[in-house]
Amino acid sequence: MQEPSHTQSNPRSGHVARVLDRARRPNREHMQALKRRVPFWFVVALLSGFAALQIVLNPFGFSDLTQRYTQDISNLLISGPYLYPDSGRQQISVALVEDETHSNLQMPWPWPYGVQARALDAILALKPRAVVVDVMFVDPRKDDTLPELVDEIGRYKRAGVPLYLTGATDAAPGSPAVRKELAATGVRILDPTLLVNQGIVRQYPASGQCFGAKVQDQSCLSLALQVYKDLYPQTPLAPIRGLMEIVWGTRTNPINSKWMRVTDDSGASHACGENLDISWSRRIYLAFFDPGSVRSACPYTGVIPAQALLDGREDSDITALAHNHIVFYGASLSGVQDKSYTPVNGLIASVFVHAMALDNLISFHGRPEQNVVSIGNVTLDNNTAQMIAIVPIILILAWMHMRRLRSRRIRPERGAMLEYLLDKAFQSAWHWLAFALALAIGLALTLTAGLSVANWVEVVFVSVELAAMLLIGLPDALWGYLHHVAGGIPQFPTAQEEGG
């Protein structure tokens, strides 16, 4: 008796052949019937997978670019000019050494220590709340005026005005962060390190080097955070478990417009008082297509010209900027590599970054925006927070999508015109619904958990993409195809469902 062939005796081989045949030549009528029965869990799983691909895997760096670009636009258009309060600016100012001051004194930079002492003494005479010196006194050059600066530090101590110096972070191991004569006075030395992301300063570190300070865990706060902790004990500093996101103010202090001139990227000089107001609609257009034209080289923080301090002339505006203020003392000189690029100012002296970081801490009462979310003792990174935030959006969109499919299955044929009109109205509102849901969740994260715009804005973009996937019926079509290929039996609509 002849044995049957291998193909005839192997049912599994026949099943695989049928699956491959259905995959190559699917029955469209069967697929249409099956896709009407897409389960809720499949829609949720598909949307969640797509969201994870965008948020967690960050294909082509798109997530990072989206976050930072949106943060910059937000600073230029919304948070900077309209939402950011000026409560911090009312308590901070910058005493600035500029090229004009440098040329008038006709001295090489860095100045002799005696000249630096004169400038600090002039600030002390105006009775500031504290002074932060963003000039590094680490150069071991011979200078007979060094004792004058040492004496000036003593005068600050006797006056009860906190004085902070910045230390050199790139010094060789074992080398002093400032000159040993100055360190011996016991003056507080802080870490002035800044963070640069894609060439732009958008974030601020939470910790830095201790420079010999006696601490238990060998971890010290960064410059702005330490100054805030010392001077504002009534509103304690919240734990910073990630990086601080800087919100940049855009409207320059009115006092700056009285005297200050700045140079733009093209080399042209402008007075900060020039009328640069443009319409809101034009500002939006330029922010997207020519952002350089809406940036202002005029600093947000009020500026005290160092020349006025050294000349000793009385000026009510200078007195107002210094009295009971935290004064940052720094320089903005051509050829001196101490400038940073910011989203709203372009290239500006780095001392203004420290001033803006402290401004954020004061304005937000010690709870600045961060790139993480803290729930109790649990800290969620950016990606995890975004995935958690998008879950309720996925559930709501999927539920509404299922309701829409169900209404299509049971709606009588005589309502076809009404169905068409409702679908068109629904399509126009669908994206806005996803946008509104994501925006509401993002704003809630900002207000309750301090998560910055840059770290939740992608939820908005992904939500709109998910809405588009549902509008074109991608989950339904994919389910119909996969179910058909796997051998699913379609359930065709009954006569009642068809309206017969």
Asked if residue 440 belongs to a domain, the reply is yes
* Final residue in a domain of this structure, among 346, 374, 402: 374
Q: So what's the pLDDT on residue 287?
A: 76
Asked if residue 37 belongs to a domain, the reply is yes
Write the pLDDT tens digit of every residue in 266-306: 667 778 865 456 677 777 777 777 777 788 889 999 999 99
Write the pLDDT tens digit of every residue in 301-325: 999 999 999 988 889 999 999 999 9
Between 119 and 346, name the one with better pLDDT: 119
pLDDT band at 496 (very low <50, low <70, confident <90, very high): very low
Asked if residue 8 belongs to a domain, the reply is no
Distance CA 155, CA 175 (A): 27
Q: What is the mean pLDDT of residues 453-461?
A: 79
Helices of type H across 260-334: 280-289, 306-311, 316-322
If we measure between CA atoms, which residue out of 188, 497, 200, 243 comes closest to residue 371?
Answer: 243
pLDDT band at 5 (very low <50, low <70, confident <90, very high): very low
Judge if 284 and 232 occupy the same domain. yes
Distance CA 346, CA 338 (A): 14
Report the 10 Å Cβ neighbour count for 455: 28
Write the pLDDT tens digit of every residue in 84-116: 999 999 999 999 999 888 788 888 888 999 999
Judge if 366 and 381 occupy the same domain. no
Judge if 414 and 335 occupy the same domain. no
Between 378 and 213, name the one with better pLDDT: 378
Task: Give the position of tokens 């000089």.
Answer: 269
pLDDT band at 494 (very low <50, low <70, confident <90, very high): very low
* Final residue in a domain of this structure, among 347, 374, 401: 374
Q: What is the mean pLDDT of residues 142-160?
A: 96
pLDDT band at 426 (very low <50, low <70, confident <90, very high): low
Judge if 174 and 295 occupy the same domain. yes
Judge if 140 and 264 occupy the same domain. yes
Cβ-Cβ contacts under 8 Å for 13 (sequence gap 6 or more): 6, 7
Distance CA 487, CA 489 (A): 6
Structure tokens belonging to residue 146:
């060094």
Asked if residue 79 belongs to a domain, the reply is no
Judge if 264 and 390 occupy the same domain. no
Asked if residue 320 belongs to a domain, the reply is yes
Long-range own/partner contacts, residues 374-382 (CB < 8 A, 24 or more apart): 374/239, 374/241, 374/449, 375/449, 379/241, 379/242, 381/242, 382/455
Asked if residue 273 belongs to a domain, the reply is yes
Distances in Å between the Cα of 14 and the Cα atoms of 6, 484, 488 are 11, 16, 16
Q: So what's the pLDDT on residue 203?
A: 94
Region of poorest pLDDT, from 180-189, 221-230, 282-291: 282-291
Q: So what's the pLDDT on residue 277?
A: 62
Judge if 357 and 273 occupy the same domain. yes
H-helix or E-strand spanning residue 151: helix 146-159
* Final residue in a domain of this structure, among 326, 348, 374: 374
Q: So what's the pLDDT on residue 400?
A: 85
Asked if residue 228 belongs to a domain, the reply is yes
Judge if 448 and 346 occupy the same domain. no
Judge if 150 and 251 occupy the same domain. yes
| Residue 105 CB-density burial (10 A; 0-12 exposed, 13-18 middle, 19+ buried) | middle
Q: How many structural domains are present in the chain?
A: 2
Distance CA 250, CA 247 (A): 10
Q: What is the mean pLDDT of residues 413-428?
A: 55
DSSP sequence for 406-464: HHHHHS-GGGHHHHHHHHHHHHHHHHHHHHHHHHHHHHHHHHHH-B-GGGTHHHHHHHH
Write the pLDDT tens digit of every residue in 364-384: 999 999 888 877 778 888 888
If we measure between CA atoms, which residue out of 489, 484, 437 comes closest to residue 459?
Answer: 437
Judge if 487 and 440 occupy the same domain. yes
- Residue 452's domain comprises 27-69+377-498
Judge if 222 and 290 occupy the same domain. yes
pLDDT band at 497 (very low <50, low <70, confident <90, very high): very low
Asked if residue 21 belongs to a domain, the reply is no
Judge if 165 and 304 occupy the same domain. yes
pTM summary value: 0.82
